Structure 1
Amino acid sequence: MSEAVVVQPPTEVPTPPRAVRLPPRPPIPKPLLAVAFSISRSWTVARLARRYGPAFTLNLPVFGPTVVLGEPSLAKQLFAANTDDVGNIQPNLSRVLGPGSVFALDGAEHRKRRRLLTPPFHGRSIKNYEAIFEEETLREAANWPQGQAFETLEPMMRITLNAILRAVFGADGEQLDELRRIIPPWVTLGSRVASLPAPSRTYSRFSPWGRLAEYRRQYDAVVERLIARVAADPDLESRDDVLALLLRSTYEDGSAMSHKDIGDELLTLLAAGHETTASTMAWVFERITRHPQVLARLVEEAATDAGEYRQATLAEVQRARTVIDFAGRHVYAPTVEIGEWVIPQGHSILASISLMHDRSEEWADPDRFDPQRHLGTRPPTFAFLPFGGGTRRCVGAVFANVEMDIVLRTVLRHFEIDTTTAPGEKVYSRGVAYTPRDGGRMVVHRRDTPLAQENR
């Protein structure tokens, strides 16, 4: 009887990584590049793209060797890449927000946290917060001067801060007042130092990093008391603030988030949604006061239950005045292929959102402010990235869009807004976000018409 022959499967030979092939590198000294990036990243990137095309290599302060991408097809490949090969950019905002922030997580841990954070920001959940957005807008607008120009950025900062503290933190009373005091200077300072090299120690409370550490100690104390209060609330199961939803949520193995991680995540949601949303709204008012036809159509729509043109206007503002100008990743695999380029381990990759939003191939006459281009059609997926893309797209995107929609609708219903022929405000960098240099100034007059009375 013959012996059975066992056929062994062929041994798989791992495919060797392809030879590194980087996009062209402009011959710019690193100190000069550092100055250009600190003054205006988007301006620098736009001029380099005109000369070197949709992909080029830079040696940047903090991020090191970096490939910048400015073409939607390249961004699509980056965002679709295996998350074990391409993770979050290093360093990132977790330096300011804490190790429990979603910014600090990669791979499986990041996917688990995203699944936990997504339900509180589902469209049906956000519907519960619309009354808060309107209340905070009316509260702030009660003090607006009439007939004289004022900056809208700071009022929008207060609206978005209070809305997030109520809707996300579930804060009121003493905790609300304390967080109102701590958060604004912390977010402003953190935004400015986020892209700077972190020192090995904080030195003292008089240094920026020392002041950040002190704000963090104050925040942790307040939030721990807030978490304890919400956790002990007999009505916890019926609360709809995000903090309560996180306290009720568990991972697939039944475990819950630690209080420290919840604190980091709440701060992340606030930092990501406070300054950026307020900055966008300041640009909204800056833009519509310079486009009378757009403003007239918005006012007409605000008298109804419709909102398509308002949404189109918000989208066009986010395209034409990009507040966050890039989405970054870090290469962990030996190499990663993006288009014709082979990028090695240790490199950063920046998808330039500002370049995507300014491409004439996808946006006819991109310098023209035209909400009409967003009506009746979906923008090209990877040419419109106001909230980033891929698995790291902003989890609070729906929250921010609904908030901006309600704030704009409320202002339109209760105020007449003057138009102006003044030149558009220049772009100003606050560190992370870009805002109108003069704060998005406008002139308003309170309505005493059925439009306002019907919506009181």
Structure 2
Amino acid sequence: MSESTIAATPAVTPVSQVRLPPAPAVPHFLQAVGFSVSRKWIVGKLVPRYGGAFTMKLPVFGPTVIVADPALAKQLFMADTDAVGNIQPNLSRVLGSGSVFALDGADHKRRRRLLTPPFHGRSIKNYERIFEEETLREAANWPEGRSFETLEPMMRITLNAILRAVFGADGAHLDELRRIIPPWVTLGSRLAVLPTPSRTYGRFSPWGRLAAYRRRYDEVIGRLIDDVRDDPNFDERDDVLALLLRSTYEDGSSMSRQDIGDELLTLLAAGHETTAATMGWVFERISRHPEVLEKLVAEADTDGNEYRQAVLLEVQRARTVIDFAGRHVYAPTFELGEWVIPRGFSIVVAIDQVHQRSDDYPDPQRFDPQRFYGQRPNTFSHIPFGGGTRRCVGAVFANVEMDVVLRTVLRHFTIETTTAPGEKAHSRGVAYTPADGGRMVVRRRR
């Protein structure tokens, strides 16, 4: 079957024609345990045996079709949102019902229109200075000649950068958010892949602690919204919060305070951990590939960034931070290639496995930025930000931030190479980070 046939608009067919991909001959209980303990490992074992699509019974998501074929991923991402929508459950149970992750169909499309302007074009150029300043501020205390973890410094850089981009200034309120957000993101990331209990079981339980963080967050955001609205220069402000407060839907209505709080929390969480994790992998990879590092250093002293972009793309491919993107079947049935998936099933794209296909990436285990030098990757075989209507709205923001952070470090530090084995991937719940924190050794350039 050709890709053009697969990519055609999915049709709704009689339920009697349901045709599911093959399922592993493993008890559902063992499938669930394996996926919960090490989803990347178990999917990696099943793809060579069952190919581009297979069926599993998963915890949280229930009956699920796992997809590892870019053509099938394309069909899923480009499908009519009335046929397949947001995966259930999703991150809205952690981020709130007003988050873009909670919305579907027309509501999701309307919200994305409001969120897109602050994260594209001229707005991003305004943030480049912030990215450089936060990198230099954090790097001022880096030790010389001694190995240190880069993950936590990157977490602070990305959090401070997104806070300044969202709120436009520094101050006591942002200091309080700096104390709330990191433990909230860590806890929320772990709980997001677990079933939600019917109650929180008190303030000492994980869900109780998450609720407590949320109450503190809502108090701070409420004060920040009031401060921004009362600003005499409110109409001239270009920070994300001011833009959201001024934005209206086509019918003239605006977002509620609760929705704005949920959306800002989504931006802070999504624009923080995943970008920092990718940067941790960047330093872990380039310190083990002298030839790559040498080219990066040479380019950093110029105005170019073509090779740096190729390195970032290859890191996102070879060390995928978010390993799956999912949808939920709402139509009576949904045609996915040769398969017919019934209503109520989840369909999950195994991003990590798509990035490891030898058909698209010869010798996929080799770290080779030349794959992307001078050319952009195929849209549906390189999907670190997901795809289709639910592709990460902050993808451009994250890409520019990573580019500026890496350039700034290269201009001010010499990174020492190492022959140590590559770091293994560590699951933080939603994201995968370097197990040893993306360690590196630097010396300041004189």
Q: Does 1:441 align with 2:434?
A: no
Q: Does 1:27 align with 2:25?
A: yes
Q: Return the alpha-carbon distance in structure 1 between the equivalents of residues 68 and 92 of structure 2.
A: 25
Instruction: Tell me the CA shift for residue 18 of structure 1.
Output: 5.7
Q: Return the alpha-carbon distance in structure 1 between the equivalents of residues 101 and 327 of structure 2.
A: 11
Question: CA-to-partner distance for each residue in 1:275-314, whole Å, 9 max, x for gaps?
Answer: 0000000000000000001001100000011011001100
Q: Gapped runs of 5+ residues in structure 2?
A: 1-11
Partner of 2:66: 68
2:303 to 302, 305, 310: 305
Name the aligned partner's letter for residue 210 of structure 1. Answer: G
Distance 1:15-1:328 versus aligned 2 partners, 3 A rule = closer
State the secondary structure of the residue aligned to 1:382: coil
1:86 to 60, 84, 87: 84
The answer to which of 31-40 and 88-97 deviates more is 31-40
Q: Note if contact 1:418-1:443 (Cα within 8 Å) is conserved in structure 2.
A: yes
Q: Return the alpha-carbon distance in structure 2 between the equivalents of residues 17 and 199 of structure 1.
A: 33
Q: Does 1:188 align with 2:190?
A: no
Instruction: Tell me the CA shift for residue 171 of structure 1.
Output: 4.7
Question: CA-to-partner distance for each residue in 1:213-243, whole Å, 9 max, x for gaps?
Answer: 0000000000010011111111122212111
Q: Note if contact 1:79-1:390 (Cα within 8 Å) is conserved in structure 2.
A: yes
Q: Return the alpha-carbon distance in structure 2 between the equivalents of residues 240 and 285 of structure 1.
A: 32
Partner of 2:313: 315
Q: Return the alpha-carbon distance in structure 2 between the equivalents of residues 137 and 33 of structure 1.
A: 43
State the secondary structure of the residue aligned to 2:142: coil
Aligned-residue Cα RMSD (Å) equals 1.1
Name the aligned partner's letter for residue 267 of structure 1. Answer: L
After superposition, residues 269-308 of structure 1 pair within 5 angstroms as 269-308=267-306
Q: Note if contact 2:308-2:403 (Cα within 8 Å) is conserved in structure 1.
A: yes
Instruction: Tell me the CA shift for residue 380 of structure 1.
Output: 1.4
Name the aligned partner's letter for residue 179 of structure 1. Answer: L
Q: Gapped runs of 5+ residues in structure 1?
A: 1-13, 449-456
Q: Note if contact 1:30-1:61 (Cα within 8 Å) is conserved in structure 2.
A: no
State the secondary structure of the residue aligned to 2:380: helix
The answer to which of 261-270 and 373-382 deviates more is 373-382
Q: Note if contact 1:133-1:407 (Cα within 8 Å) is conserved in structure 2.
A: yes
Distance 1:111-1:44 versus aligned 2 partners, 3 A rule = same
Instruction: Tell me the CA shift for residue 51 of structure 1.
Output: 0.7
Q: Note if contact 1:24-1:56 (Cα within 8 Å) is conserved in structure 2.
A: yes
Instruction: Tell me the CA shift for residue 315 of structure 1.
Output: 0.5
After superposition, residues 340-359 of structure 1 pair within 5 angstroms as 340-359=338-357
User: What TM-score results when the alignment is normalised by the length of structure 2?
Assistant: 0.96
Question: CA-to-partner distance for each residue in 1:318-345, whole Å, 9 max, x for gaps?
Answer: 0000000011000111000000000000
Question: CA-to-partner distance for each residue in 1:55-82, whole Å, 9 max, x for gaps?
Answer: 0000000000000000011001101111
Partner of 1:165: 163
Partner of 1:378: 376
Instruction: Tell me the CA shift for residue 38 of structure 1.
Output: 2.5
Partner of 1:331: 329
Q: Which has the larger radius of gyration?
A: 1
User: What TM-score results when the alignment is normalised by the length of structure 1?
Assistant: 0.94
Instruction: Tell me the CA shift for residue 32 of structure 1.
Output: 2.1
Instruction: Tell me the CA shift for residue 86 of structure 1.
Output: 0.5
After superposition, residues 2-151 of structure 1 pair within 5 angstroms as 16-17=14-15, 19-151=17-149
Instruction: Tell me the CA shift for residue 17 of structure 1.
Output: 4.8
Q: Return the alpha-carbon distance in structure 2 between the equivalents of residues 188 and 170 of structure 1.
A: 25
Q: Note if contact 1:416-1:444 (Cα within 8 Å) is conserved in structure 2.
A: yes
Q: Note if contact 2:155-2:276 (Cα within 8 Å) is conserved in structure 1.
A: yes
Q: Note if contact 2:15-2:342 (Cα within 8 Å) is conserved in structure 1.
A: no
State the secondary structure of the residue aligned to 2:89: coil
Q: Return the alpha-carbon distance in structure 2 between the equivalents of residues 230 and 410 of structure 1.
A: 31
After superposition, residues 146-225 of structure 1 pair within 5 angstroms as 146-225=144-223
State the secondary structure of the residue aligned to 1:381: coil
State the secondary structure of the residue aligned to 1:319: helix
2:239 to 241, 255, 258: 241
Name the aligned partner's letter for residue 39 of structure 1. Answer: V
Q: Note if contact 1:18-1:342 (Cα within 8 Å) is conserved in structure 2.
A: no
Question: CA-to-partner distance for each residue in 1:72-127, whole Å, 9 max, x for gaps?
Answer: 11001101111011011011100000000000000110010011111111121111
Q: Return the alpha-carbon distance in structure 2 between the equivalents of residues 28 and 441 of structure 1.
A: 38
Partner of 1:407: 405
Distance 1:61-1:16 versus aligned 2 partners, 3 A rule = closer
State the secondary structure of the residue aligned to 1:435: strand
The answer to which of 166-175 and 116-125 deviates more is 166-175
The answer to which of 24-33 and 430-439 deviates more is 24-33
Instruction: Tell me the CA shift for residue 381 of structure 1.
Output: 1.3
Q: Note if contact 2:356-2:364 (Cα within 8 Å) is conserved in structure 1.
A: yes
Instruction: Tell me the CA shift for residue 164 of structure 1.
Output: 0.6
Name the aligned partner's letter for residue 395 of structure 1. Answer: V
